[in-house]
Amino acid sequence: MNLAEHYNQLYKTSSETILSGNYSLDSKINDTSDSRFGITLLLRPSEKIKSNIQLFLNELKAVEPNQYYYPNSDIHITVMSIISCYEGFSLDKINVEDYIKIIEKSLEDLGEIKIEFRGVTASNSAIMIQGFPFDETLNNLRNKLRENFRNSTLEQSIDSRYSIATAHSTVMRFTENLQNPEKLIEVVEQFRDYNFGDFTADKLELVFNDWYQREENTIHLEDFLTN
């Protein structure tokens, strides 16, 4: 996949949707009865990059203060959604150790995962930071995870929603009608090619999580050191 082309096309379509008022709202983000949970392998950007992201989010908050903004603790890149969030999933349904073993096997002989966060894109319900891996290491890991989990009998739903191929990070979600969509897109345009920085992942995290990866609903299961 040509990531730059993918992000550009996504932004073109989504910005037009936002400006025409046909965007979508996330109705469940403040629903305390939301019981969608799953397990995810993820990585997190450096503190410096998170600080740069918050500067961008402050600009967005100035024009759209009532939307949902990710705190630093929740900002992440999904490496693989191993069990996509669904209602009623709980950890007692699986043996976590079995999942850890498959991930460890998939990480054998893997190089460093280095990612550049450059520019901003959008969907019809969210704003995202564009991530660009430096090489094929992340893709190689994802393919190994796919193969190893599919060859197991463990519960998994890899690629059931879509086949993950990007390295983006969602940082804002629309929860109520936008007050000023034109101004929102104006701010996003200013950061379309902004360099938030690059980082080398020092570890991957396996977590039990809700749909939004909120820290207060996350159970940390295992760290996998990557360098």
Residue ranges of the chain with pLDDT lower than 50? none
Tell me how many domains the chain contains. 1
Per-residue pLDDT tens over the stretch 69-90: 999 999 999 999 999 999 999 9
Neighbours of 31 (CB within 10 A): 10
Residues 6+ apart with CB under 8 A from 199: 45, 46, 48, 49, 114, 115, 117
Q: Give the domain extent around 74.
A: 3-225
Could you tell me the two tokens for 80? Answer: 């693989």
Residue-wise pLDDT tens digits, 25-37: 998 998 888 999 9
Please say whether the beta carbons of 208 and 39 come within 8 A: yes
> What is the predicted pLDDT for the residue at 161?
57
Residues 6+ apart with CB under 8 A from 26: 68, 125, 126, 173, 174, 175
Q: Which domain CATH number covers 116?
A: 3.90.1140.10
Element (H, E) at 145: helix 137-150
| Distance separating alpha carbons of residues 18 and 122, to the nearest angstrom | 9
- Tokens linked to 177: 């009608």
pTM: 0.94
